[in-house]
Amino acid sequence: MLPRPHHAMSVPVKQAFHIEEIFPSIDCGRFAVKRIVGEAVEVWADIYRHGHDVVAADLIWRREPESDWQRTAMMHHGNDRWVGSFVPEKTGRYSYAIEAWTDEFATWRHGFEQKRKANVATEVDAMEGASLLTRALSGGQEATVKIARACEIFLQSGKCESLLADDLKKAMAEGQDRTDLTRSKPLTLIVDRPKARYSSWYEMVPRSQTPQPGQHGTWNDCINRLPDIQAMGFDVIYLTPIHPIGRTNRKGRNNSLKAGDGDPGSFYAIGSDEGGHDAIHPQLGSLNEFRRFVAACAAAGMEVALDFAIQCSPDHPWIKQHPEWFKRRPDGSMKYAENPPKKYEDIVNVDFGSDDAEGLYRALRDVVLFWVSQGVKIFRVDNPHTKPFRFWEWLINEVQARDPDVLFLSEAFTRPKVMKGLAKLGFTQSYTYFTWRTERWEIEQYVNELAGYPEREFYRPNFFVSTPDILPYHLQRGEPWMFKTRLALAATLSSNYGIYNGFELLEHEPIPGREEYLNSEKYELKSRDWDKPGNIKPYIAQINRIRRENPALQQTSAIRFLPVEDSSVIAYVKHSADQTNVVVTIIALTGGFREFWLPLGDVQVRLGHGDLKPVTALENLKSGPTSPVAYGGMRLWIDPIHDPVLIFRCLG
């Protein structure tokens, strides 16, 4: 025989229910699911218990730090699968869970009705139901009145009909004791503002916004650019680092190791005698002028996003104020940043393993909060994958606990699981591998991955077509149709996308054999004619207008690729949440005239609040005319030299 345990075992007599396979849930609830304010959160779960008693379940939720739970009844969908939903009305962090219990009165009622049908119901059976009424305690006033009245009628008449009324069943569902109530483990939900899901980014280098060659740009120059950027339809202006630039080991043009006279240095070498991460490069202007720029952006319907790069020049004030935050080599020299074979002698990294790591954490948090106080609510974080994950989870929680409207974009071009891990930790949006996806099969495969479960619950992709660091090979020939193709792919595949200033001018001169710009403005001042002949600004404005007018393009996950036979043409359909707006996009991926059949036989659209209907016509969202759909599709052609993109709204 087994030995008797020294301590009595706790017997779970009331844990009658299994609550399993909760959806949505990221890594068994370790990380938060993401939604937009006003967007329904639909929750599914398997809920079951032993026996044949009637089960009831509620979906409960609360916004932190509130203590009171809100609730709504879940509905049985079949095969012990239950579903419920709620709509978060404020941004912030939420908890949600599922409660299940036995509905004793519904169980009695079902059994009593079965006995009545079989003519075996007795007076004792009816009294059993009435006794349940006397134990109902927790309902609201209306339910309590109904229960008391039904009990009184039964006691006076002895007739069981008063116990079988539908309104009593509803009142008892609310008011009866839930002796075996079981609650699932709480899960976390982050609710963001709409900009988290839908945004169009324009990456601006502030010092390059002046039209005068060799002259450093100012905030006034940036303000003067706003009407041009607004006209193209962008709603986020992302600024490369705006801070003072160090002089020690300053880089020269084209990343040369020695700066010449007048070379401004890399704006990623942050910090000098003029200040660090909470200061502005003096040649750009003052903090008051920056606030004026932020206000001018807001007046034009745009937001400012700042680059948050955790790295310092050797002249950064923290080097002297907090030497313990930095690593040194055995000989006492400063340890510069490296990414072999690249060396960044103008940059040193902070040491997150410092003895004063807590002080470093708080200082970096305070940098973000400082810029939030200046009106900035979006941060593009440079290389977050090279910093501790625990830091990002802490920082994002700390900032969003103070202001849940702050958004963070992860600029991490690294291993896919690391990129996804950063998104799970709290980054609102994420860079992707879109820049290097060029073949149809790999675009479809990659987008299906991002739009599938569980990625769609936590990973919001932002498709940048190029960056100051990356000039992809497919743009290096400067072909206008290719620039249009990549822009349209980014803007219609993903609801968040961006371009780097100069893209609209078809800038494409590379360092030979590399995916980098020659004469990069990371290391020099640059002036441009923003109305240079051959620019594609009207085309960009047209694509952004179509995005604004069609909710189907303002989300990423509701997408399906269509089987066009020509592998050089990609086609896909996207729809809004209510399916009243359905958009089909067709894009040529290679040059040359293309003619093909577009299959639409199973594409449907909802008319008003009615049922889904097959598509009967396509409205060209670029040129206007409407064409009928026949035989389940339409024959189309694309001439990329003329225009590589077709976009249609589906009509029923």
| pLDDT interval class at 101 (50, 70, 90) | very high
DSSP three-state, residue 337: strand
Q: What is the pLDDT of residues 183-202, one digit of tens each?
A: 999 999 999 999 999 999 99
In angstroms and rounded to an integer, the radius of gyration of the C-alpha atoms of the chain is 31
In order, the DSSP letters of 280-331 are: --TTT--HHHHHHHHHHHHHTT-EEEEEE---B-TT-HHHHH-GGGB-B-TT
The verdict on whether 64 is a catalytic residue reads no
Range of weakest confidence among 124-133, 349-358, 475-484, 498-507: 124-133
The verdict on whether 639 is a catalytic residue reads no
Report which of 551, 517, 557, 569 is spatially closest to residue 649, judged by C-alpha positions.
551
- What's the average model confidence in pLDDT over 401-426? 97
Q: What does residue 132 show for φ and ψ, rounded to 5 degrees?
A: -65, -35
Q: What does residue 459 show for φ and ψ, rounded to 5 degrees?
A: -110, 110
Residue 557, pLDDT above cutoff 70: yes
Q: Are 426 and 392 in contact (CB under 8 A)?
A: yes
Q: Is 538 left (phi over 0), alpha (psi -120 to 50) or beta?
A: alpha
Residue with tokens 């249609």: 648
Q: What integer pLDDT is reported at residue 85 of this predicted model?
A: 98
Q: What integer pLDDT is reported at residue 13 of this predicted model?
A: 55
pTM: 0.93
Q: Are 236 and 199 in contact (CB under 8 A)?
A: yes
Q: Which of 53, 411, 457, 504 is catalytic?
A: 411
Residue with tokens 């640059």: 526
Question: What tokens appear for 107 in the block?
Answer: 């169980």
- What's the average model confidence in pLDDT over 205-228? 97
Mean pLDDT over all residues of the chain? 94
Distance, in Å, from the CA atom of 542 to the CA atom of 626, rounded to the nearest integer, reads 18
Q: What integer pLDDT is reported at residue 4 of this predicted model?
A: 54
DSSP three-state, residue 525: coil
Q: Are 551 and 567 in contact (CB under 8 A)?
A: no
Strands 92-102 and 187-192: antiparallel
Share of the chain above pLDDT 70, in %: 97
Residue 14, pLDDT above cutoff 80: no
Q: What is the pLDDT of residues 30-77, one digit of tens each?
A: 999 999 999 999 999 999 999 989 999 999 999 999 999 999 999 999
Q: Is 243 left (phi over 0), alpha (psi -120 to 50) or beta?
A: beta
The residues near 597 (Cβ < 8 Å, ≥ 6 apart) are: 564, 565, 633, 634, 635, 636
Length of the chain measured in residues? 652
| pLDDT interval class at 219 (50, 70, 90) | very high
Most confident of 97-106, 157-166, 544-553: 544-553
Range of weakest confidence among 150-164, 238-252, 484-498: 150-164
Residue 342, pLDDT above cutoff 80: no
Q: What integer pLDDT is reported at residue 138 of this predicted model?
A: 67
Q: What integer pLDDT is reported at residue 176 of this predicted model?
A: 87
- What's the average model confidence in pLDDT over 329-344? 81
Buried b (16+ CB within 10 A) or exposed e, 354-380: beebeebbebbbebbeebbeeebbbbb
pLDDT, greater one: 107 or 282 = 282
Q: What is the pLDDT of residues 573-614, one digit of tens each?
A: 999 999 999 999 999 999 999 999 999 999 999 998 889 999
| pLDDT interval class at 11 (50, 70, 90) | low
Share of the chain above pLDDT 90, in %: 83
Q: Are 22 and 98 in contact (CB under 8 A)?
A: yes
C-alpha of 12 from chain center: 41
Distance, in Å, from the CA atom of 373 to the CA atom of 375, rounded to the nearest integer, reads 5
Q: What is the pLDDT of residues 518-537, one digit of tens each?
A: 999 999 999 999 999 999 99
- What's the average model confidence in pLDDT over 114-140? 86
Residue 234, pLDDT above cutoff 80: yes
Q: What is the pLDDT of residues 261-315, one digit of tens each?
A: 999 999 999 999 999 999 999 999 999 999 999 999 999 999 999 999 999 999 9
| pLDDT interval class at 338 (50, 70, 90) | confident
Q: What integer pLDDT is reported at residue 5 of this predicted model?
A: 52
Q: What integer pLDDT is reported at residue 422 of this predicted model?
A: 98
Q: What is the pLDDT of residues 466-509, one digit of tens each?
A: 999 999 999 999 999 999 999 999 999 999 999 999 999 999 99
Residue 116, pLDDT above cutoff 70: yes
- Domains parsed from the chain with CATH numbers: 18-103+181-191 (2.60.40.10), 105-175 (1.20.58), 200-245+284-312+354-553 (3.20.20.80), 246-279+313-349 (no CATH), 559-651 (2.60.40.1180)
Q: What does residue 613 show for φ and ψ, rounded to 5 degrees?
A: -125, 150
Residue 6, pLDDT above cutoff 80: no
Q: Which of 53, 103, 382, 521 is catalytic?
A: 382
